[in-house]
Structure 1
Amino acid sequence: MYSLHYLFGKDVQNPASAITVSSLDLYSPDKGYGFVIEKNRRSQELLQIPELNSAFEPWYWLNSEDISILNQSEDGIFITKSDLYHMEDWPIPLHFKVKLSTSGNYTVSLNLKNVGNTASPIWIFTGRRRLMFYTQTFPVSSELHQTFTINISDIIPRSKTSVYTDNTLDIVIISQANIALCQLDITSSPTLPTLYIAGDSTVTDQSTSYPYHPGCSYCGWGQMLPFFFKPGICISNHAHSGLTSETFRSEGHYDIIYKLLRLGDFVLIQFAHNDQKLPHLAAYKGYTEKLTNYIHELRLKGAIPILVTPLARNTWLGDGSYNDLLIDYANACIQISLKEHVPLIDLHQFSKSFIKTHGLENSKPYFFPNDYTHTNDYGGLQMASYIASELKHISSLENFISCTIDNEIRSLLQVTQMIKLPSPPSHYIDRNQSNHTVAFTDIEDCKDKDIIISLASKGIISDRETLFRPNDLIIRIEVLEWIIKAIGFVPMNVYNDYYSDVIGHEWYAGTVEVAHQNGIVDAFLTQKALFHPSMPVTTEELISFLINSYKCRKPLHTTFTHTGIELDNVSSFAFNAILSAFEIGLITFPFDPHEKLTRSQAACYIQKLITLLQ
């Protein structure tokens, strides 16, 4: 049986079978073990691929900085960080990496000790940032022994097209306290069963930045699921951002799982978020066909498929009602489950109820800041807890799952504080903004040049052409495309033929679909089933688009105190939108509601909206 033993204390007695590690031991493939900090991460290309490592990376403005300081005590090795300008309360990872003889299933045991003078919460992750352990308080001088069973497997990393061999184990300890890694034992466990996961970005092992905050970390529920499992089964997550039920196979991810499957292994499957953007993967057509094929093939290998309905988004309409964009796909999953007699976990219903109970604003702390699709670590843990509780009802899995939520985890799952992303230092922002160039050759003398460049740098305005045409009138479809990108509405390549003057093959049909789904355009402006995509946009029309979009992301608490404001010229459909825009500072009076706006003027309004939503 293959095994490795590491000791980390200073002057520790070294059994013949153990490897003693010092704070100077940085990982390299030749050495085969060591710590990963900024210094060796910058010098080794493979350490910069999140999926082949711990998936912890410095914040982008800290890439050239040395943050981590390794320290060695008599008990073990712990990490401290250099002085940072405003993130002193956010911890950094102690990351130890080991090269193993092969991929597969392993049993990992580690000993930790708090060698500092403060108690603190502690997180333990393995592999691609999979949560294995959390406790709210790790007292001073206390010791901790934990054992996990983990899977290491080959993977096709993000933006890569070929399979990368991965036979390395990553251990990460996160804490504000000085938590020393004292001992690590690794033993191959090839006979353990494996639970594989197939899915998209809402399921995948997301990377994060450090110094670490769970609220500022993208998270798929698949990477939180190991926390709820006892040793004895291993989880192998092959979900990836951007995948559909079709591309999971065509891009090679399914083949990795299929070759490894053994009798009695499990496969959790959740798709839909990207399928819904493609006409041929409609819920009751291509999507159903692809999922059904997976079920049949997995059963031929003796594996047990389990369907998961798609995670709901925190999407709302301007009238305050919940906007369910995935209900057809959830219902299709349920139909497949009934027809094929496959276990089903209705995550869509659970997450939708969770979001509707909390409401738009109180759901935001469970999602990555300014994102309405992807959970953060708090939300990922919340969804994984539900998945685990449902898996416990599957008889062959019940003995592996420990989904009892104690007070510590309950407090972690109840997040009330709004979370903001940290900002880079001002000199970094200035340096990078000044370096951004656009192809436009006609904005040099435009007074709104900086706003246009800023929107182009964010991808809101396309700069693939050389002319921006700042003084041309903007048309309805152009400004809606900008708004959809600025707000972050879910893009669509599907169009359901709502309007007689928009046909499915037009480049902007998906934009019309998104505008319709989210109630951006007032019904008054689309009478007789006409969308008027090429019509110039007036001020009051744009304001109504912007306010309708704003309300999908943030509640409006306007009092409509408009004493002295001249509104006689405002059309009835735009009246309340104009008042709301005035009260939140989107417009000032006087203004001409019927003025046809230029592209430059529209860009300024878009920038104001972005600022108001931050």
Structure 2
Amino acid sequence: MKRNSFIYCLGIGAFAICSSLISCKTQQQEIQSSTYKFDFGTGKIAEGYHQVRPENMYDSAKGFGFLDAPELEAADRGGNVLENDFLSSKSPFFFTVDVPEGNYDVKVILGDKEGTSSSTIRVENRRLMVGKTETKSGEIIEKNFSVHIRYPEIAGTNKKVKLKSREHDYLHWDHQLTIEFNGDMPKVAGIEITPNNTAPTVFLAGNSTVVDQANEPWAAWGQMFPAFFEPGKVVIGNHAESGLTLKAFRWHNRLENILSMMKPGDYLFIEFTHNDQKPGNAHVEPFTSYQEVIREFMAAAKEKGGIPVLVTSMHRRSFDENGKIINTLEEYPEAMRQLAEEENVALIDLNAMSKTLYEAWGETESKKAFVHFPAGTFEGQEEDFADNTHFSTYGAYQLASCVVEGLKKTDLDLVKWIKPDIPTYNPANPPAFEEFYWPLSPRVSIIKPDGN
């Protein structure tokens, strides 16, 4: 893969099919009590840990290992058994573990007793967990994050999520937790993965502007969202998928999949419009069928004890001759605003904030927030990318910042779990592109995501 010239500165579980709901519930509880511990390196093994050596590629019999790992280097500094040795690489590497469906808290031990390190951690489909984290020479640190794992099989039924063909290669429908270690020089000494059955889950229902985009250079706000919250306190479950409408989200059993995992106190964020406004059998009208289907989503969540939250869709990148955003989403955002007021449901007005944000950038600078790259930037890319709907990683992070800022204006309990060091975000004065750091993942696609 070519790196673009302006790289952003910026044991093991098994899930059995049960003969009855009672036995299934009992077995699931037993599995969910497991903690998975891994000691990276070739030195002595910490008690209760599985050793992970450079050559340990994923093995289904063991239930863990590396995926397509580049050349990994092992080092042993002596001293503390868990912290004395580590694995590192100059290229991104992926470690995967078989785990049951559910939420997990992950602790990663990083650093080097005789050198520095620099790590960015993502999971599954490039879902950001830990931003650029550097350690000084001799420094060993722990970084924690929480992750949601979903299966296509819907618990308690004989149904499955109807996956699109390209989703079969995604890293988030495969019954595993996959962790991507990226950055200038990640040095990983250990990992602990512990089930979290109590923290509220924030389920995201949406389209390509929300989804965990699997490949560079595409991104969406949902995959940046987890990095804004306190680990262990709340878990983000992004179930959005490119090209979907409200109706298709139901037809594909995705809402049913969410509801099968939802517990009282969980949240359902709903953001749809881009595809719903198009003609076809999934089309809905703003103040009638659009509102009606959203009401059905909200009612289903409330029946499970969940808390619905409405998010108006961000604008497309479309400027008039005066540098103002053209509203291509018609009356749909206003229909959602009115629905939130009528139903007394929390609203995050991303549509309004995106207008301010895009106009603050202007027509030229805003290209950096979208997938606008000249031909040849990425391997196999023979034509220019000029996508005015889908975001670059920089743009996706700014939209996520807007969502978090909108969340702060609600009275939801979720607000208290936003990390205390997250600064106030002003869409009228966004951080510069050059300040954003995102080391590229090795997975690249020259195919535009579904939807527009």
Q: 1:94 and 1:115, CA in 2 relative to 1: closer, same or farther beyond 3 A?
A: farther
Contact 2:102 2:150 in 1 (8 A): yes
5+ long unaligned stretches in structure 1: 39-67, 81-91, 210-216, 423-457, 460-484, 492-614
Residue 184 (str. 1) matches residue 191 (str. 2): yes
- For 1:297 and 1:77, the matched residues in 2 are separated by 46
- For 1:110 and 1:222, the matched residues in 2 are separated by 23
Residue 374 (structure 1) aligns with: 390
Contact 1:114 1:140 in 2 (8 A): yes
- For 1:137 and 1:389, the matched residues in 2 are separated by 27
Give TM-score scaled by structure 2 length. 0.75
Contact 1:116 1:141 in 2 (8 A): yes
Q: 1:320 and 1:191, CA in 2 relative to 1: closer, same or farther beyond 3 A?
A: closer
5+ long unaligned stretches in structure 2: 1-32, 77-84, 153-160, 373-385, 441-445
Residue 246 (structure 1) aligns with: 247
Question: Which of 98, 102, 117 matches 1:104?
Answer: 102
- Any idea what the Cα deviations from partners look like across 1:221-272, whole Å, max 9, x if unmatched? 1110000000211111100000011101011111100111111110000000
Residue 302 (structure 2) aligns with: 299
- Any idea what the Cα deviations from partners look like across 1:533-554, whole Å, max 9, x if unmatched? xxxxxxxxxxxxxxxxxxxxxx
Q: Which has the higher strand share?
A: 2
- For 1:285 and 1:99, the matched residues in 2 are separated by 44
Contact 1:228 1:403 in 2 (8 A): no
- Comparing 293-302 with 242-251, greater Cα deviation is found at 293-302
Contact 2:394 2:436 in 1 (8 A): no
The amino acid that maps onto 2:397 is L
Q: 1:301 and 1:418, CA in 2 relative to 1: closer, same or farther beyond 3 A?
A: closer
Give TM-score scaled by structure 1 length. 0.56
Residue 142 (str. 1) matches residue 142 (str. 2): no
Residue 38 (structure 2) aligns with: 6
Question: Which of 52, 59, 67 matches 1:36?
Answer: 67
Q: Residues 148-167 of structure 1: matches in 2 within 5 Å?
A: 148-155=145-152, 156=161, 157-159=163-165, 166-167=174-175
- Any idea what the Cα deviations from partners look like across 1:396-455, whole Å, max 9, x if unmatched? 212211164469xx9994215999xx9xxxxxxxxxxxxxxxxxxxxxxxxxxxxxxxxx
Residue 225 (structure 2) aligns with: 225
Q: Secondary structure at the match of 1:276?
A: coil
Residue 125 (str. 1) matches residue 122 (str. 2): yes
The amino acid that maps onto 1:96 is F
- For 2:223 and 2:256, the matched residues in 1 are separated by 21
Residue 266 (structure 1) aligns with: 267
- Any idea what the Cα deviations from partners look like across 1:273-314, whole Å, max 9, x if unmatched? 111112631222322221111112211211100000001111
Residue 514 (structure 1) aligns with: none
Q: CA deviation at 1:386?
A: 2.0
Q: 1:318 and 1:405, CA in 2 relative to 1: closer, same or farther beyond 3 A?
A: same
Q: Secondary structure at the match of 1:135?
A: strand
Contact 1:365 1:417 in 2 (8 A): no
Q: 1:310 and 1:414, CA in 2 relative to 1: closer, same or farther beyond 3 A?
A: same
Q: 1:114 and 1:305, CA in 2 relative to 1: closer, same or farther beyond 3 A?
A: same
- For 1:391 and 1:412, the matched residues in 2 are separated by 18
Residue 168 (str. 1) matches residue 165 (str. 2): no
- Comparing 252-261 with 381-390, greater Cα deviation is found at 381-390
Q: Secondary structure at the match of 2:404?
A: helix
In the comparison of the two structures, how many residue pairs are matched? 373
Q: 1:117 and 1:4, CA in 2 relative to 1: closer, same or farther beyond 3 A?
A: closer
Q: 1:406 and 1:142, CA in 2 relative to 1: closer, same or farther beyond 3 A?
A: farther
Residue 400 (structure 1) aligns with: 417
CA-atom RMSD, angstroms? 3.1
- For 1:321 and 1:292, the matched residues in 2 are separated by 32
Q: Secondary structure at the match of 1:389?
A: helix
- For 1:116 and 1:336, the matched residues in 2 are separated by 58
- For 2:272 and 2:207, the matched residues in 1 are separated by 6
The amino acid that maps onto 1:175 is G
The amino acid that maps onto 1:9 is G
Q: Which has the higher helix share?
A: 1
The amino acid that maps onto 2:229 is F
Residue 406 (structure 2) aligns with: 390
Contact 1:8 1:21 in 2 (8 A): yes
Residue 87 (structure 2) aligns with: 77
Q: Residues 128-527 of structure 1: matches in 2 within 5 Å?
A: 128-135=125-132, 137-155=134-152, 156=161, 157-159=163-165, 166-177=174-185, 179-209=186-216, 217-231=217-231, 232-278=233-279, 280-317=283-320, 320-369=323-372, 370-392=386-408, 393-402=410-419, 404-405=421-422, 413-416=431-434
Q: CA deviation at 1:12?
A: 2.4
Residue 93 (str. 1) matches residue 92 (str. 2): yes
- Comparing 138-147 with 393-402, greater Cα deviation is found at 138-147
Q: CA deviation at 1:149?
A: 1.9
Q: Secondary structure at the match of 1:246?
A: helix
- For 1:314 and 1:23, the matched residues in 2 are separated by 45
- For 2:113 and 2:252, the matched residues in 1 are separated by 47
- Any idea what the Cα deviations from partners look like across 1:587-611, whole Å, max 9, x if unmatched? xxxxxxxxxxxxxxxxxxxxxxxxx
Contact 2:116 2:134 in 1 (8 A): no
- Comparing 397-406 with 410-419, greater Cα deviation is found at 410-419
Contact 1:103 1:166 in 2 (8 A): no
Q: Secondary structure at the match of 2:188?
A: strand
Contact 2:103 2:235 in 1 (8 A): yes
The amino acid that maps onto 2:433 is V
- For 2:130 and 2:197, the matched residues in 1 are separated by 23
Q: 1:359 and 1:96, CA in 2 relative to 1: closer, same or farther beyond 3 A?
A: same
